[in-house]
Amino acid sequence: MSGDMNLTRADVASWDETDSLASFRDEFLLPDGVVYFDGNSLGALPRKTPERVRALVEDEWGQDLIRSWNQHEWIHFPRRVGDQVASLIGAKPGEVIAADTTSINLFKLLAAGVQLRPERRVIVSEKENFPSDLYIAQGLAGLTGTHELRLVDRSELQAAIDDDVAIVSLTHVDFRTGELHDMASLTKHAHAHGATILWDLSHSGGALPVRLNNAGADFAVGCGYKYLNGGPGAPAYLFVAERHQDDIQPPLSGWMGHEAPFAFDTDFRPAPGIERQLCGTPSVLAMAALEVGVEILTRADIDRVREKSQRMGDLFLQLVDEQCDGLGLTAACPRDSEARGSQVSLRHAESYPIMQALVARGVIGDFRSPDVLRFGLTPLYLRFVDVWDGVATLKEILETEAFRRPEFQNRQLVT
Ligand SMILES: *Cc1c(COP(=O)(O)O)cnc(C)c1O
């Protein structure tokens, strides 16, 4: 640390006064007394969502009934929301569609990658990738019976991508440590070996600038309920680069991906373009909520969002250094904000009860096995003073050892 005087809460509050994103906070409904560091797991509720969902249920469903598919364009939800998401992740309109879950979309696109390289037998991923991403790849390999999942440490990735690889599957920002991959250079490396690459944007889409087409990415998937604020279980999205779209025979060939769903043909004929990636009927109630969340992000300058998120992360780590010195915390995330996504991760031997004690005081982050305290940074509705207050509460819990109380020791199903 430098020899500068330590920051005060007033210093930090003055940053909020000049923050150009500050007004976005009013677009969300946040409970009083809560400091919310879990928008990377479940985004906050947009103020407009309850009315939009009410109108959809009571007016569109209740009054207009089945006519709404045409009248209120329910049938266009996947494409319309997909085009909005495309603008957040460096894709073109027509390259992204909102549908299904991240896990299901992973299956579709890993299968697509394997199809595009029929002579190759290897899928590469990282051991530390999000479990569902690994489980889906395992399921696909089991189904084809001929593919091998090559799982390596982060440091061995480049070497693991050789001329046997059909597809590389990576998460842009590591869910545990917040480490950010260099999308452009890994994509280039995969292509140099003739492989395709799939990026999971669950922890980067809507959180930082993503430039899929600049990087030359082949495929991507991402989550609707984290940084996109689409609500619990919101539909996910998927991206297929335009050059590949018509070469993929969808493995989940449902009627919504048919060229003419209402022709009720006997045989599957895939729709042209991204639409063939649809499977069944869109989840209309959930799409309406997702659209509200995504629309807010389309009005925010993502470069400013990134800048504020980096500054918040740096502040968080600086305050931990200044105020929690000797209390057993170490950084699990990169200290260099260029190498870090939109979260701060800390390690402590007692992370689980510490997070329970924080949540009991209204400071909501989450615990990730085995020992990580995770704090998501969502610049549209978090203030710099929230970071101050969060770290002050953490310091108090560690100093008083309040986390040792018995009620904080029981592990719940969802952590
Ligand atoms: C959140 C997340 C998922 C979630 O997948 P679901 O199908 O929505 O449960 C998948 N992958 C990553 C990297 C995630 O962060």
Question: What's the rounded Cα separation, in Å, for the pair 143 and 363?
Answer: 44
pLDDT for res 4: 60
Q: Which of 89, 91, 213, 219 is nearest to 166 (CA)?
A: 219
The question of whether 24 is a catalytic residue gets the answer no
At position 247, the amino acid (one-letter code) is D
- How far does the centroid of ligand 1 lie from the alpha carbon of residue 395, in Å? 31
Tell me the CATH number for domain 51-298: 3.40.640.10
pLDDT on residue 253: 98
Distance (Å, rounded) from C-alpha 226 to C-alpha 41?
Answer: 5
Give the span between the Cα atoms of 341 and 158, in whole angstroms: 21
Mean pLDDT by 10 residues, the chain (415 residues): 74 97 98 97 98 98 98 98 98 98 98 98 98 98 97 97 98 98 98 98 98 98 98 98 97 98 97 98 98 98 98 98 96 98 97 97 95 98 98 98 94 84
Rounded-to-integer distance, Cα 172 and Cα 150, Å: 18
Whose alpha carbon is nearest atom 4 of ligand 1? 102
First to last CA, the chain: 33
- Which residue is catalytic, options 79, 108, 150, 226? 226
Are 106 and 200 spatial neighbours (Cβ–Cβ below 8 Å)? yes
Index of the ligand 1 atom closest to the CA of residue 233: 8
pLDDT of 415? 80
Instruction: Tell which atom from ligand 1 comes closest to the C-alpha of 102.
Output: 7
Cα separation, 361 vs 346, whole angstroms: 19
Instruction: Write the pLDDT tens digit of every residue in 117-171.
Output: 999 999 999 999 999 999 999 999 999 999 999 999 999 999 999 999 999 999 9
State phi, psi for 83 to the nearest 5 degrees. Answer: -65, -35
**C-alpha 308, offset from chain centre:** 18
225 flagged as catalytic: yes
Closest alpha carbon to 286 in 228, 227, 233, 238: 233
Longest dimension (CA), the chain: 75
Give the pair of three-digit tokens for residue 219.
């495929």
Instruction: Work out whether the CA dihedral 390, 392, 396, 398 comes out positive or negative.
Output: positive
Instruction: Identify the burial level of 311 via C-beta atoms within 10 angstroms of its C-beta, where 0-12 means exposed, 13-18 middle and 19 or more buried.
Output: middle
**What's phi and psi for 411, nearest 5 deg?**
-75, 125
All structural domains of the chain with their residue ranges: 9-30+301-408, 51-298
Residue 394 to residues 42, 359, 410, Cα–Cα distance (Å) = 21, 10, 19
Examine the residue annotation and report whether 64 is marked as an active-site residue of this protein.
Answer: no
Q: How many CA atoms lie within 13 A of 386 on its CB side?
A: 28
pLDDT at 2: 46
CA dist list (Å): 45 to 28, 34, 51, 95, 282: 6, 13, 12, 27, 21
State the closest ligand 1 atom to the C-alpha of 175, by its place in the atom list counted from 1.
15
Cβ(128) – ligand 1 distance below 6 Å: no
CATH fold for the domain made of 9-30+301-408: Aspartate Aminotransferase, domain 1 (3.90.1150)
Whole-structure pTM over 0.85, yes or no?
yes
Q: Are 349 and 327 in contact (CB under 8 A)?
A: no
Is the CB of 100 within 6 Å of ligand 1? no
The residue whose CA has the least distance to atom 10 of ligand 1 is 102
CA 292 to centroid of ligand 1, rounded, Å? 20
Residue holding tokens 């959930």?
286
Strand-pair partners of 200: 171, 221
Q: Is the dihedral of CA 287, 293, 295, 301 positive or negative?
A: negative
pLDDT of residue 1: 44
Residue 45: its H or E element: strand 45-46
With a 6 Å cutoff on the Cβ, whether 227 touches ligand 1 is no
